[in-house]
Chains A and B, each alone.
Chain A
Amino acid sequence: MHEIIEVGLTVNGRPHELRIEPRETLGEVLRDRLALTGLKVSCDSQVCGACTVLVDGLAVSACTYLAVDADGRSVRTVEGLAVDGRLTPLQQAFIDHAAFQCAFCTSGMLMTATALLEENPAPTREEVVTGLEGNLCRCTGYAPIVDAVLAAAAATAEATA
């Protein structure tokens, strides 16, 4: 029998009390126990960024981040971005710029970029490129993704000006 631990975490603003095995990753808990399947596991070794979620505002790789370490913390996933069906400027910019094709990387890319823009609302192109360095995309060649993040920053600045 495997050990069971109780953890409490907030996911997209909703509190959850869960009984999990210590070996479970945050990705497994989000996907398999909470049915938040937007995050995708690709490399399974913290290289590709497809599984990126935010824990207390920081981008982490859910494929290797143990769920027990999220105890008492606040987790945000791609499902928490749009509110009442209204896309964030970043999500809209991804659509407008064709910043994805297969989209297996997109949830992680959006979460990394969300954290980036929260920390730095007006990044330069170089800062966006550096910020996305840990997120792989095999379809787009990245240029449209960088364009989309910059466009989202500009749209947000305009909306709040």
Chain B
Amino acid sequence: MKRVIERPTPPSPISVSVPRRDGIAKVTGSAQFAVDVVVPGMAHAKILRSPYAHARIRSIDVTAARAHPGVIAVVTADDLPDVILRYGHALADHPMIATGKVRFAGEPIVGVVAEDAATADEALRLIELDMEPLPAVTTVEAALADDAPVIHEEAAEQRPHRGFEEDISKTAANVCSHSRQHYGDVDAGFAAAALVIEGEFRYPMCYAYAMEPYTTVASWNQGQLTVWSSAQHPYMVRDDLARCFGLPLSSVRVVVPYVGGGYGSKSYTKIEPLTAALALRAGRPVRLALVADEAILTTRGDSARVRVKSAFDAEGHLLARKAEVLLNTGAYAENSPLVARKAANRLSGPYRIPAVDVTCDAVYTNTAPASSFRGFGAPQVVLAGESQMDEAAERLGLDPLEIRRRNVLKPGERPWPKVRGIDADLGADMELAAIELDWDAPAEPGRGKAICISASDAGSEPVTTAVLRVHADGSATVMCGSTEMGQGSNTVLAQIGAGEMGIPLERVHLNQSDTGMVSYDRSTGASRTTTLMGLAIRDAARDVKAQLVGWAQDAIAKDGAEVVEEHEGVRVGGTFHDWGAVVRAWFAGAGGECIGRGYVRKAGATEAMPPFWEVGCVGVDLTVDEQTGRIQIHKLVTIGDVGCAINPQLAEAQDVGAAIMGLGMATREELVYTADGNLLNGNLFDYRVPRASDIPPLATVLVERGDGVGVYGAKGGGEGALNPVAAAIANAVFRATGARLRQAPFTPERVWRALQERDAAAS
């Protein structure tokens, strides 16, 4: 079924790859990031971090540090009795600075504020810590053992922004949250099965490495707090700051300049509360700019152990799936309760499975806190689910594409009860990938191809507003709380505003991400901005145009002449008046403006959850060097099923970037902890992300079926192409070699070991 994509009357900037609006600023070095913000009187902070993964703080001697020339303030938890130290949008379990004990190596213990960063660094070395090391756990197995040390002795307050409704109270000492996806009669499904595939898979602990490390500048003025920060969700940060410092929301202003990469790692609150506390005690504006070695200890992605079994009938139809997923969530909850919820959901598709029982526990360990990371919940489990589809195909003598054809959800079909039917045609997407891979060509020995798919309940919650101001010269300003972190929202949202208003793109300006100046948006993540903020801007445009038509009636058509709305303005008695002329006429002067509002909430088109499905479809063609275990990818195919590409060049760029990030995690990236909780490769030398020479030949196909809930049928992109990459590589390696990979990343050593196991099994 193909829907016609309704777009504004041409000339329209929709579906046009207009150049990025931040382009000139970004190629001339004038684009401002948080680290470029300078506030008069600003001092600089450095943080003393715990050398221990788990330890009680006996005492902290800061006398010498306080006396060091150039030091303005030295702050420990004891210096902040007037501040609520624990923050967190899901669970308020995360102290901004260690209080009583530390739970991971790298946890902030003391903050030093000085005239410059080098002086603050000197003072850090003058601080004496007296700490009592405690037994530490770094793996989910160790954390769930009967005699495991307890990481959080007290229950934390559940907070309303966790992104789902279920209670997440603890089920065991070190369990942060427990989620379950359960429907249908699972036992009956397994009882009827002709084939049961069972296995364990592991997905690594990864570091997003947004190249801009976390950076915050905080400034207090007469009880009002202003924070400039590298945050994806300024309004979420505002909420945490207001709670920690006992302020009304209106007294906290969070400003986000250009963000130097997010990928989820800058979702929610990070160093903002601590920086604000340091500024409070210093009595000066304070900048806290982390370096990458500190950022790597601030947030990472959850690693996963997935035990799953899937039941199939003799024709390869899925009958049931049962799984237990454990996430290594690190020392604090951050967004991991939602990662766990999503992991449980995202192992339940993208197929028609009559009965599912998936549990997912986010487990506390003495490692750096895990949180959102691009696609979260999906990459961790898609490796397992998609590997089992190929295993079943192999056992049943089916083509891997054919077994997927028999099970994939059809457009509109619900993967589980009471959710939005899937707004994508993954079956058709797979066929496009097959064409790109020349799927039916005879297999060359030693060469393997695979196609894997995923479906994520994306978009977060629809709590989004926009303001659109039409000025007296007919130009317009869109004010919105969405963040520009490289994804191109600055360009795409302006395109939507201009297209809806009929105003030339160069006369539309976007103001973003300043909670003191622009209206509320819940978050910039889960691929939601083009879809949900796009709808809010469309509604704001409709609202402002309706007002302007009324104004034309009042001020221009005084004799009762008919006012006809046209795309760029109104026609009254045969005379055209652009929107600016209507504004001027209504105010009977040269100035004034008309203000339109758009609200998107859980109602109408965005009532059903999720707001949209983000699907992924990835194909690979590879060979494996049997001597070294090195994988060489000859082609990486992504199908970008985005509904409508408002800016095709930027939509494609999201797909490619996501796929390469997935490639890094599938083949190289993994944070490695020692048993006592020290990060072995916590720097960019040892944690190796993809480089220019690692990029395989790419093919990206954008698919526009107009099937999303967003403007012109748009829906989210930017994560889908990441999610199936590891699974596609694992399945292609199996097809090339007969060796099954179950633990990412698939380093040459792991591949080589799998090849040895294959040979051992055969002999």
Contact = CB atoms under 8 A, between A and B. Distances in A.
B575 interface: no
Contacts of A71: none
Contacts of A45: 292-293, 683-685
Contacts of B487: 101
Nearest to A93: B27
Interface in A20-60: 21, 23, 36-45, 47-48, 50
A102 B27 contact: no
Interface stretch (A3-11, A75-83, A153-161): A75-83
Interface string A98-113: 1011111111001000
Nearest to A131: B692
Contact of B692 (A91, A98, A129): A129
Contacts, number: 161
A16 interface: no
B712 interface: no
A44 B121 CA distance: 15
Interface in B673-721: 683-685, 689-693, 695, 698
A100 B193 CA distance: 50
A128 B485 CA distance: 26
A42 B28 contact: no
Nearest to B213: A42
B27 A94 contact: yes
Interface residues on A, range: 35 or more
Interface in B238-269: 258-263
B20 A98 contact: yes
Nearest to A79: B29
A133 interface: yes
A23 B118 contact: yes
Interface in B635-674: 649-650, 653, 656-657, 659-661
A47 B27 contact: no
B22 interface: yes
B27 A100 contact: yes
A109 to B, nearest CB: 10
Interface string B545-574: 000000000000000000000000000000
Given A129-B693, A141-B695, A146-B692, A103 B35 contact: no
Nearest to B660: A141
A38 B19 contact: no
Given A38-B29, A47-B685, A138 B258 contact: no
Contacts of A140: 653, 656-657, 660
Given A95-B27, A102-B485, A141-B659, 8 more contacts: A40-B211, A40-B260, A41-B291, A79-B28, A98-B653, A105-B211, A106-B26, A140-B653
6 cross-chain pairs, A with B, having the tightest CB-CB distances, nearest first: A38-B29, A102-B486, A104-B260, A101-B486, A141-B660, A103-B26
Interface of A: 21, 23, 36-45, 47-48, 50, 77-79, 81-82, 87, 91, 94-96, 98, 100-107, 110, 128-130, 132-133, 135-146
